[in-house]
């Protein structure tokens, strides 16, 4: 027993020197592991697979998205509706009939005159347009 205590103390004393000599070795190993391209590629592959797993898990959750659009268009093609050319002769005729009827029959009711209207011009594109879509998607 008396021999084992000095042997243990000597072993502990020598192991401290061995530990001091190991630190450059640990530094070399650490540098080698950091600069190893294969290990870096493996780590990136692992991170990529974790991201793919998170993305796959997200497919099972509901998804809410909003999309908005606002556009302005000036000029462009237009088409003309000849409503004035079609209705103005009719209105003139009705006004003439009402005028003659009031002159002929004194008890004929007073009817307001029909107005003269102009042709309508409508653009193919709306001048301003806004659209907002709110979409909720749930996987089945």
Q: Splitting the chain (140 residues) into consecutive groups of 10 residues, what average pLDDT does each group show?
A: 67 63 77 81 89 90 94 86 96 95 92 94 88 92
Q: Which residue ranges make up each domain of the chain? A: 1-61
Residue tagged 């997200």 (tokens): 58
CA distance 42 to 49: 10
Specify the pTM. 0.41
pLDDT for the residue numbered 76 = 81
DSSP string, 21-79: HHHHHHHHHHHHHHH-HHHHHHHHHHHHHHHHHHHHHHTTS-EEEEEEEEEE--S--EE
Residues 6+ apart with CB under 8 A from 94: 114
Model pLDDT, residue 86? 96
For residue 117, what is the DSSP state?
-
Specify whether the CB–CB gap between 128 and 71 falls below 8 A: yes
Q: 9-34 b/e with 16+ CB inside 10 Å = b?
A: eeeeeeeeeeeeeeeeeeeeeeeeee
């Amino acid at each position: 027993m008396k021999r084992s205590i000095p042997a243990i103390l000597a072993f502990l004393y020598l192991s401290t020197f061995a530990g001091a000599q190991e630190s450059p070795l640990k530094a070399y190993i650490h540098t080698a592991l950091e600069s190893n391209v294969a290990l870096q590629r493996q780590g990136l592959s692992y991170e990529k697979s974790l991201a793919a797993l998170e993305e796959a898990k997200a497919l099972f959750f509901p998804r809410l998205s909003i999309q908005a659009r606002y556009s302005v268009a000036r000029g462009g093609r237009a088409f003309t509706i000849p409503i004035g050319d079609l209705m103005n002769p009719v209105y003139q005729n009705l006004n003439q009939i009402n005028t003659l009827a009031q002159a002929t029959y004194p008890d004929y009711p007073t009817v307001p005159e029909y107005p003269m209207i102009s042709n309508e011009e409508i653009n193919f594109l709306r001048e301003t347009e806004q659209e907002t879509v709110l979409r909720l998607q749930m996987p089945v």
